[in-house]
Structure 1
Protein backbone atom coordinates (compact mmCIF):
# COMPACT_ATOMS: atom_id res chain seq x y z
CA UNK A 1 0.00 0.00 0.00
CA UNK A 2 1.23 3.47 -0.86
CA UNK A 3 0.86 6.52 1.35
CA UNK A 4 -1.30 9.13 -0.35
CA UNK A 5 -2.06 12.65 0.72
CA UNK A 6 -4.93 14.96 -0.17
CA UNK A 7 -3.12 16.20 -3.29
CA UNK A 8 -2.66 12.62 -4.55
CA UNK A 9 -6.34 11.94 -3.95
CA UNK A 10 -7.30 15.16 -5.76
CA UNK A 11 -5.17 14.05 -8.72
CA UNK A 12 -6.89 10.66 -8.72
CA UNK A 13 -10.33 12.32 -8.62
CA UNK A 14 -9.32 14.54 -11.54
CA UNK A 15 -8.13 11.53 -13.54
CA UNK A 16 -11.33 9.61 -12.76
CA UNK A 17 -13.29 12.57 -14.16
CA UNK A 18 -11.04 12.84 -17.23
CA UNK A 19 -8.39 10.16 -17.80
CA UNK A 20 -7.08 12.14 -20.79
CA UNK A 21 -6.21 15.21 -18.71
CA UNK A 22 -2.59 16.25 -19.03
CA UNK A 23 -0.32 16.81 -16.07
CA UNK A 24 -0.40 20.50 -16.95
CA UNK A 25 -4.20 20.64 -16.84
CA UNK A 26 -4.30 18.77 -13.55
CA UNK A 27 -1.55 20.95 -12.12
CA UNK A 28 -3.39 24.16 -13.06
CA UNK A 29 -6.64 22.86 -11.54
CA UNK A 30 -4.90 21.95 -8.27
CA UNK A 31 -2.40 24.78 -7.99
CA UNK A 32 0.63 22.62 -8.83
CA UNK A 33 3.30 23.05 -11.46
CA UNK A 34 3.16 20.69 -14.44
CA UNK A 35 6.37 18.88 -13.35
CA UNK A 36 5.05 18.41 -9.80
CA UNK A 37 1.75 17.00 -11.07
CA UNK A 38 3.60 14.76 -13.55
CA UNK A 39 5.92 13.40 -10.81
CA UNK A 40 2.95 12.58 -8.57
CA UNK A 41 1.06 10.87 -11.42
CA UNK A 42 4.18 8.87 -12.34
CA UNK A 43 4.63 7.83 -8.67
CA UNK A 44 0.99 6.68 -8.50
CA UNK A 45 1.44 4.69 -11.74
CA UNK A 46 4.69 3.10 -10.59
CA UNK A 47 3.10 2.12 -7.27
CA UNK A 48 0.25 0.44 -9.15
CA UNK A 49 -2.46 2.77 -7.82
CA UNK A 50 -3.19 3.74 -11.44
CA UNK A 51 -3.21 0.44 -13.29
CA UNK A 52 -3.86 1.85 -16.73
CA UNK A 53 -6.23 3.87 -18.82
CA UNK A 54 -9.33 2.20 -20.22
CA UNK A 55 -11.46 3.12 -23.14
CA UNK A 56 -15.10 3.36 -22.05
CA UNK A 57 -17.27 2.45 -25.02
CA UNK A 58 -20.98 3.20 -25.13
CA UNK A 59 -22.40 -0.27 -25.85
CA UNK A 60 -25.83 1.10 -26.71
CA UNK A 61 -24.44 3.44 -29.37
CA UNK A 62 -22.58 0.46 -30.82
CA UNK A 63 -25.85 -1.44 -31.18
CA UNK A 64 -25.79 -3.43 -27.94
CA UNK A 65 -28.99 -2.29 -26.24
CA UNK A 66 -29.23 -5.03 -23.60
CA UNK A 67 -26.89 -5.73 -20.70
CA UNK A 68 -27.50 -8.76 -18.50
CA UNK A 69 -25.73 -9.85 -15.34
CA UNK A 70 -25.60 -13.62 -15.07
CA UNK A 71 -24.96 -15.52 -11.87
CA UNK A 72 -23.35 -18.84 -12.80
CA UNK A 73 -23.18 -21.84 -10.49
CA UNK A 74 -20.85 -24.63 -11.54
CA UNK A 75 -21.65 -28.29 -10.94
CA UNK A 76 -18.06 -29.20 -10.14
CA UNK A 77 -15.57 -26.84 -8.56
CA UNK A 78 -12.15 -28.41 -8.88
CA UNK A 79 -9.21 -26.32 -10.06
CA UNK A 80 -9.39 -27.90 -13.52
CA UNK A 81 -13.12 -27.21 -13.92
CA UNK A 82 -12.69 -23.57 -12.85
CA UNK A 83 -9.89 -23.14 -15.39
CA UNK A 84 -11.91 -24.83 -18.14
CA UNK A 85 -14.89 -22.57 -17.46
CA UNK A 86 -12.78 -19.40 -17.31
CA UNK A 87 -10.98 -20.18 -20.59
CA UNK A 88 -14.23 -21.02 -22.38
CA UNK A 89 -16.23 -18.04 -21.10
CA UNK A 90 -13.39 -15.62 -21.89
CA UNK A 91 -13.65 -16.61 -25.56
CA UNK A 92 -17.24 -15.32 -25.84
CA UNK A 93 -17.08 -11.74 -27.16
CA UNK A 94 -20.46 -10.74 -25.68
CA UNK A 95 -19.16 -11.49 -22.17
CA UNK A 96 -17.66 -8.20 -21.01
CA UNK A 97 -16.53 -9.19 -17.51
CA UNK A 98 -15.99 -12.46 -15.66
CA UNK A 99 -15.89 -12.18 -11.88
CA UNK A 100 -15.11 -15.17 -9.65
CA UNK A 101 -17.22 -14.49 -6.55
CA UNK A 102 -18.11 -15.95 -3.18
CA UNK A 103 -21.75 -16.52 -2.35
CA UNK A 104 -24.77 -18.03 -4.04
CA UNK A 105 -22.98 -18.20 -7.42
CA UNK A 106 -19.44 -19.02 -8.43
CA UNK A 107 -19.20 -16.40 -11.19
CA UNK A 108 -20.87 -13.18 -12.22
CA UNK A 109 -20.82 -12.31 -15.90
CA UNK A 110 -21.67 -9.04 -17.59
CA UNK A 111 -23.09 -9.89 -21.01
CA UNK A 112 -24.10 -7.46 -23.76
CA UNK A 113 -26.43 -8.23 -26.65
CA UNK A 114 -28.18 -6.32 -29.41
CA UNK A 115 -31.63 -7.12 -27.98
CA UNK A 116 -33.38 -9.83 -25.95
CA UNK A 117 -33.60 -12.35 -28.84
CA UNK A 118 -29.87 -11.86 -29.41
CA UNK A 119 -29.22 -12.39 -25.69
CA UNK A 120 -31.29 -15.58 -25.79
CA UNK A 121 -29.17 -16.83 -28.70
CA UNK A 122 -25.93 -16.08 -26.80
CA UNK A 123 -27.34 -17.71 -23.68
CA UNK A 124 -28.54 -20.90 -25.39
CA UNK A 125 -25.73 -21.42 -27.89
CA UNK A 126 -22.72 -20.18 -25.99
CA UNK A 127 -23.18 -19.75 -22.24
CA UNK A 128 -25.40 -22.73 -21.39
CA UNK A 129 -22.99 -25.02 -23.24
CA UNK A 130 -19.95 -23.94 -21.21
CA UNK A 131 -18.14 -26.68 -19.26
CA UNK A 132 -19.46 -27.24 -15.76
CA UNK A 133 -22.46 -24.86 -15.84
CA UNK A 134 -25.12 -26.19 -13.45
CA UNK A 135 -27.45 -23.18 -13.08
CA UNK A 136 -27.83 -19.56 -14.14
CA UNK A 137 -29.65 -16.51 -12.82
CA UNK A 138 -30.16 -13.49 -15.07
CA UNK A 139 -30.69 -9.84 -14.13
CA UNK A 140 -31.33 -7.33 -16.92
CA UNK A 141 -29.72 -3.92 -16.43
CA UNK A 142 -32.32 -1.13 -16.51
CA UNK A 143 -30.03 1.83 -15.80
CA UNK A 144 -26.56 2.44 -14.49
CA UNK A 145 -24.90 5.16 -12.46
CA UNK A 146 -21.13 5.03 -12.51
CA UNK A 147 -19.34 5.70 -9.25
CA UNK A 148 -15.60 6.40 -9.16
CA UNK A 149 -15.05 4.39 -5.99
CA UNK A 150 -13.45 5.34 -2.69
CA UNK A 151 -10.49 7.64 -3.17
CA UNK A 152 -10.54 9.17 0.25
Structure 2
Protein backbone atom coordinates (compact mmCIF):
# COMPACT_ATOMS: atom_id res chain seq x y z
CA UNK A 1 0.00 0.00 0.00
CA UNK A 2 1.31 3.43 -0.95
CA UNK A 3 1.52 6.26 1.57
CA UNK A 4 -0.51 9.28 0.45
CA UNK A 5 0.20 12.83 1.54
CA UNK A 6 -2.08 15.86 1.27
CA UNK A 7 -0.85 16.67 -2.27
CA UNK A 8 -1.57 13.12 -3.43
CA UNK A 9 -5.06 13.32 -1.97
CA UNK A 10 -5.55 16.70 -3.65
CA UNK A 11 -4.55 15.21 -7.00
CA UNK A 12 -6.96 12.30 -6.51
CA UNK A 13 -9.84 14.65 -5.58
CA UNK A 14 -9.20 16.88 -8.58
CA UNK A 15 -8.95 13.95 -11.01
CA UNK A 16 -12.06 12.32 -9.54
CA UNK A 17 -14.00 15.45 -10.49
CA UNK A 18 -12.34 15.89 -13.90
CA UNK A 19 -10.11 13.10 -15.17
CA UNK A 20 -9.05 15.19 -18.17
CA UNK A 21 -6.96 17.60 -16.10
CA UNK A 22 -3.38 17.78 -17.28
CA UNK A 23 -0.32 18.03 -15.07
CA UNK A 24 -0.05 21.77 -15.71
CA UNK A 25 -3.56 22.49 -14.44
CA UNK A 26 -3.14 20.08 -11.52
CA UNK A 27 0.08 21.86 -10.60
CA UNK A 28 -1.57 25.31 -10.74
CA UNK A 29 -4.44 24.12 -8.52
CA UNK A 30 -2.13 22.50 -5.96
CA UNK A 31 0.84 24.86 -6.03
CA UNK A 32 3.18 22.45 -7.82
CA UNK A 33 5.22 22.77 -10.97
CA UNK A 34 3.95 20.88 -14.02
CA UNK A 35 6.83 18.32 -13.84
CA UNK A 36 6.25 17.72 -10.10
CA UNK A 37 2.53 17.18 -10.66
CA UNK A 38 3.27 14.84 -13.58
CA UNK A 39 5.73 12.80 -11.43
CA UNK A 40 3.14 12.44 -8.67
CA UNK A 41 0.43 11.33 -11.12
CA UNK A 42 2.88 8.85 -12.67
CA UNK A 43 3.75 7.50 -9.19
CA UNK A 44 0.04 7.05 -8.38
CA UNK A 45 -0.47 5.23 -11.69
CA UNK A 46 2.52 2.92 -11.15
CA UNK A 47 1.30 2.10 -7.62
CA UNK A 48 -2.11 1.15 -9.03
CA UNK A 49 -3.95 3.92 -7.17
CA UNK A 50 -4.95 5.49 -10.51
CA UNK A 51 -6.14 2.57 -12.59
CA UNK A 52 -7.24 3.94 -15.94
CA UNK A 53 -9.67 6.58 -17.10
CA UNK A 54 -13.38 6.39 -17.76
CA UNK A 55 -15.72 8.12 -20.09
CA UNK A 56 -19.04 9.06 -18.49
CA UNK A 57 -21.86 8.83 -21.02
CA UNK A 58 -25.07 10.77 -20.44
CA UNK A 59 -27.58 7.95 -20.91
CA UNK A 60 -30.55 10.33 -21.03
CA UNK A 61 -28.94 12.24 -23.91
CA UNK A 62 -28.75 8.93 -25.80
CA UNK A 63 -32.42 8.24 -25.19
CA UNK A 64 -32.10 5.92 -22.18
CA UNK A 65 -34.27 7.71 -19.64
CA UNK A 66 -34.82 4.87 -17.18
CA UNK A 67 -32.29 3.11 -14.97
CA UNK A 68 -33.41 0.14 -12.88
CA UNK A 69 -31.48 -1.82 -10.28
CA UNK A 70 -32.54 -5.45 -10.25
CA UNK A 71 -31.96 -7.88 -7.43
CA UNK A 72 -31.88 -11.39 -8.87
CA UNK A 73 -32.08 -14.54 -6.77
CA UNK A 74 -31.28 -17.71 -8.64
CA UNK A 75 -33.75 -20.57 -8.35
CA UNK A 76 -30.98 -23.17 -8.47
CA UNK A 77 -27.54 -22.64 -7.06
CA UNK A 78 -24.31 -24.25 -7.98
CA UNK A 79 -21.23 -23.45 -10.00
CA UNK A 80 -22.86 -24.34 -13.31
CA UNK A 81 -25.91 -22.14 -12.79
CA UNK A 82 -23.76 -19.16 -11.69
CA UNK A 83 -21.57 -19.40 -14.77
CA UNK A 84 -24.56 -19.94 -17.09
CA UNK A 85 -26.38 -16.94 -15.61
CA UNK A 86 -23.31 -14.68 -15.77
CA UNK A 87 -22.54 -15.65 -19.36
CA UNK A 88 -26.14 -15.03 -20.46
CA UNK A 89 -26.73 -11.78 -18.54
CA UNK A 90 -23.52 -10.13 -19.76
CA UNK A 91 -24.72 -10.66 -23.35
CA UNK A 92 -27.72 -8.34 -22.79
CA UNK A 93 -26.71 -4.82 -23.95
CA UNK A 94 -29.17 -3.05 -21.63
CA UNK A 95 -27.49 -4.63 -18.60
CA UNK A 96 -24.71 -2.18 -17.78
CA UNK A 97 -23.39 -3.67 -14.53
CA UNK A 98 -23.49 -7.21 -13.11
CA UNK A 99 -22.53 -7.60 -9.45
CA UNK A 100 -22.38 -10.94 -7.66
CA UNK A 101 -23.41 -10.02 -4.11
CA UNK A 102 -23.95 -11.54 -0.70
CA UNK A 103 -27.36 -11.12 0.90
CA UNK A 104 -30.99 -11.60 -0.03
CA UNK A 105 -30.18 -11.66 -3.75
CA UNK A 106 -27.38 -13.38 -5.62
CA UNK A 107 -26.90 -10.64 -8.21
CA UNK A 108 -27.47 -6.93 -8.55
CA UNK A 109 -27.90 -5.62 -12.10
CA UNK A 110 -27.96 -2.07 -13.42
CA UNK A 111 -30.29 -2.01 -16.41
CA UNK A 112 -30.93 0.97 -18.71
CA UNK A 113 -33.98 1.36 -20.94
CA UNK A 114 -35.60 4.04 -23.05
CA UNK A 115 -38.71 4.12 -20.85
CA UNK A 116 -40.71 1.87 -18.51
CA UNK A 117 -42.34 0.02 -21.41
CA UNK A 118 -38.91 -0.68 -22.88
CA UNK A 119 -37.68 -1.88 -19.48
CA UNK A 120 -40.68 -4.21 -19.20
CA UNK A 121 -39.80 -5.67 -22.60
CA UNK A 122 -36.17 -6.23 -21.55
CA UNK A 123 -37.29 -7.76 -18.26
CA UNK A 124 -39.86 -10.13 -19.76
CA UNK A 125 -38.07 -11.18 -22.93
CA UNK A 126 -34.44 -11.18 -21.85
CA UNK A 127 -33.88 -11.22 -18.10
CA UNK A 128 -36.70 -13.46 -16.86
CA UNK A 129 -35.80 -16.04 -19.50
CA UNK A 130 -32.18 -16.35 -18.32
CA UNK A 131 -31.04 -19.72 -16.94
CA UNK A 132 -31.66 -20.16 -13.23
CA UNK A 133 -33.58 -16.92 -12.59
CA UNK A 134 -35.91 -17.24 -9.61
CA UNK A 135 -36.96 -14.14 -7.70
CA UNK A 136 -36.44 -10.63 -9.11
CA UNK A 137 -36.90 -7.27 -7.40
CA UNK A 138 -36.75 -3.98 -9.31
CA UNK A 139 -35.84 -0.54 -7.97
CA UNK A 140 -36.19 2.40 -10.38
CA UNK A 141 -33.51 5.07 -10.05
CA UNK A 142 -35.03 8.49 -9.37
CA UNK A 143 -31.89 10.62 -8.93
CA UNK A 144 -28.19 9.96 -8.68
CA UNK A 145 -25.46 11.97 -7.03
CA UNK A 146 -21.89 11.09 -7.90
CA UNK A 147 -19.22 11.37 -5.26
CA UNK A 148 -15.54 10.59 -5.67
CA UNK A 149 -15.55 8.42 -2.55
CA UNK A 150 -13.04 8.24 0.28
CA UNK A 151 -9.50 9.24 -0.55
CA UNK A 152 -7.01 7.88 2.00
TM-score range with shorter-chain normalisation?
Answer: over 0.9
| 3-state DSSP of counterpart to 1:61 | helix
Q: 1:67 to 1:8 in 2, by over 3 A?
A: same
Runs of 4+ in 1 over 6 A off after TM superposition: none
Q: How does 1:2-13 map to 2 (within 5 A)?
A: 2-13=2-13
How many residues of Structure 1 are paired with residues of Structure 2 in the alignment?
152
Q: TM-score, normalised by structure 2?
A: 0.97
Q: Paired residue for 2:18? A: 18
Unaligned segments of structure 2, at least 5 residues: none
Q: TM-score, normalised by structure 1?
A: 0.97
Counterpart Cα distance in 2 of 1:132 and 1:5: 48
Counterpart Cα distance in 2 of 1:39 and 1:83: 42
Counterpart Cα distance in 1 of 2:107 and 2:75: 12
Q: Paired residue for 2:100? A: 100
How far 1:36 moved relative to its partner?
Answer: 1.0
| 3-state DSSP of counterpart to 2:104 | coil
Unaligned segments of structure 1, at least 5 residues: none
Q: Paired residue for 1:56? A: 56
RMSD: 0.9
Q: Paired residue for 1:140? A: 140
How far 1:41 moved relative to its partner?
Answer: 0.7
Counterpart Cα distance in 1 of 2:5 and 2:87: 40
Q: Paired residue for 2:112? A: 112
How far 1:83 moved relative to its partner?
Answer: 1.3
Q: Deviations over 1:14-54 (max 9, x none)?
A: 00111000011101110111111111111111111111111
